[in-house]
Chains A and B, each alone.
Chain A
Amino acid sequence: MSQSAIRADYRRTLTRRWLLSSPALLIVLLAATGPLLVVLLYSFLKAGPYGGVLPEFSPEAWIGVVMQRGLFDDTLSIADAHLAIFWRSIRLSLETTLLTLIFGFPTAYFIATRPPNTRELWLFLITIPFWTNLLIRTFAILQIIRNDGTINTVLLKLGLIGEPIRMLYTDGAILAGMVYVYLPLMVLPLYASMEKLDFRIVEAGYDLYATPFRVLRLVIIPLVKPGIVAGCILVFIPSLGAYVTPNVLGGGKNLMIGNLIELQFGQGRNWPLGSALSISLMAVVMAALIVYVRNADKTGGHHG
């Protein structure tokens, strides 16, 4: 066979190989990209009176994301409620990410420093909560922090408090629930990068007069940074869109974006606004991701 014939043959093989990925591409197209385009389209249409949309262009939904119309006239004002919900979502997600990092880092370090044959057991224990339905786990927390729940009952019996502490239906309750739910998502990527960590490098730090805190700051954290970034992304993104936890523990009063979106498609019967809010949420996630990735490239790109 001539040189060019071989090359042409190779090119054909490559084309055929590309076909092998078509099932995956088809799924991405039908299940992700397609619906997303529908959502985008809906956000520019007019709301139907009983839900659904009317085939009529309207920017109303996008205006409604940040503005609200007066009840009796058409004056526009800033939609305080929406912005407050957006802000609460971002704040709670950031707090969740920070807390899971604070709890997850020592946990992952502990597991990574166990003898190799016992690490599997520890990882297994970390993943056990995943076996139970999220709703049931959330209701379990509800049982614990209710006014007549476990914590308050014990404290009352001990005489430490005179009346029950109100914990349920607060931002604190949502935060506690989300930290509990998302902690494994932080521990697993952290563990994955710590497991690869060469502990002789850590010893070299101690050997060169670095105190344990400085070894942590100057050696361990820079080396496991890819794991930290991955864990933060994995926790922050689902936190932003959390629905079940704020619904149960926030009592429908302390809404997050997820609840607000659900409200538009349900009781609110404003599908275009729900769609616009969904796209806005995606934009926030994208922005956060870009910040993360940029940051990771700059300082952590050479390692791991």
Chain B
Amino acid sequence: MNEAIGIRDVSKVFGQGDTTFTAVARVNISIRENEFFTLLGPSGCGKTTLLRMIAGFEFPTDGEILLHGENIADMPPFRRPINTVFQNYALFPHMTVADNIGFGLRMLGKSKAEVSERVIEMLRLVKMEPMAGRRTSEISGGQQQRVALARALAPQPKVLLLDEPLSALDYKLRKEMQLELKRMQHETGITFIFVTHDQEEALTMSDRIAVMSKGQVLQVGSPRDIYDAPADRFVAEFIGETNFLTGRVRKIAEETAEVMLEGGAAISATAAGVGVGDDVTIVVRPEHAEVVAVPATGSAVTKGTLENVVYFGTDTHFHVRLPDGSVFVTRQQNRPRLSSEFAVGSEVSIAVAADAARILRAGA
């Protein structure tokens, strides 16, 4: 597939002299055409700065930004065929909804007929036809969001940038807009670059995700890759809930390593790039582990005291205090007429599903 946006060794350093701050550090990303690509990370990780450099509001200190192979790193924003949906929408308060949507087309010098035709088309796309003549202060947050989207899509950009566009919406509306955004991306065939700190949002919407921290890209991959095979401890902790166990590799057979845990039990885990005798961290997702009765069967790996049982409706979380002091969380789906047979404070074992444990290198 063709590359829409190429980020090549891009760095951004703010400030001068002794008080510099590196917001983005030698980042390399290749974003494909028609892709829903998400930049995910905690606030201050550099994702917004990277997006602003693609939009043209900031210029990289170093590196190239390619749009279909052409370096646009120094091009002013009004020359780039890239549009942005801003975090707080940034609609023009002195214009009507229709004038907001038509602004980009008018600036491109399109004819009046063409502008009004396209505005109507966009109003229909975001289901805002009855609001065309309203001022932007007279419509709700969700409607402003739709107008911002229509305004950015109207000039048919090659790439659409979305800077946490859903963060100001309430939960239900956000869920609705997530699906709608996905639908629009599909319908328009435009490459979407989406910035968020919400891992759930990233997992449900994206084709691929780049996880960022401290100005660097830690991992790029599909939501499944990132969730199932996190590249390091940060990614594992940031995306979903995770349990960490430490141990030493005892033997390796093909892709599977047998690891002696500190508690004395052995566990087999998928391995990549580790050798016998290495100290490793093992990642187990809560839904891949289960609390079982103490006279444990074969798959039990560790023991602990059941500290808390939290009922979530669809599932129940068990918090188990391990002998080393850490808390291991398991998530079990609730079935009808099945009450928890474990009492808080009782001694339980934890069983891990086969192939569910994954090795991170120690220190990673």
Contact = CB atoms under 8 A, between A and B. Distances in A.
B94 A208 contact: no
A208 B83 contact: yes
Given A208-B103, A208-B151, A210-B78, A203 B94 contact: no
A270 B126 CA distance: 73
Nearest to A208: B104
Nearest to A225: B94
B93 A207 contact: no
Given A201-B93, A303-B93, A207 B88 contact: no
A130 interface: no
B347 to A, nearest CB: 57
B56 interface: yes
B55 A207 contact: yes
Most chain A C-beta atoms within 10 Å of own C-beta, residue among B77, B93, B94, B104: B94
A209 B90 contact: no
Interface residues of B, number: 27
B76 interface: yes
A222 interface: yes
B137 interface: yes
B364 interface: no
A214 B108 CA distance: 12
A207 B77 contact: yes
Nearest to A198: B90
A201 B78 contact: no
A211 B86 contact: no
A212 B107 CA distance: 12
A284 interface: no
Interface string B48-83: 000000011100000000000000000011110011
B84 interface: yes
Given A208-B151, A208-B155, A214-B107, A201 B92 contact: yes
Contacts of B79: 209
A206 interface: yes
A26 interface: no
A223 B136 CA distance: 14
Contact of A206 (B77, B91, B151): B77
A198 B82 CA distance: 21
Interface string A177-196: 00000000000000000000
Interface of B: 55-57, 76-79, 82-84, 86-88, 90-94, 103-104, 107-108, 135, 137, 151-152, 155
In order of increasing CB-CB distance, the 3 nearest A-B pairs are: A208-B104, A209-B107, A200-B90
Given A204-B92, A206-B77, 17 more contacts: A198-B90, A201-B93, A203-B77, A204-B151, A206-B56, A206-B57, A207-B57, A207-B77, A207-B84, A208-B78, A209-B104, A209-B107, A212-B78, A214-B107, A222-B94, A223-B94, A303-B93
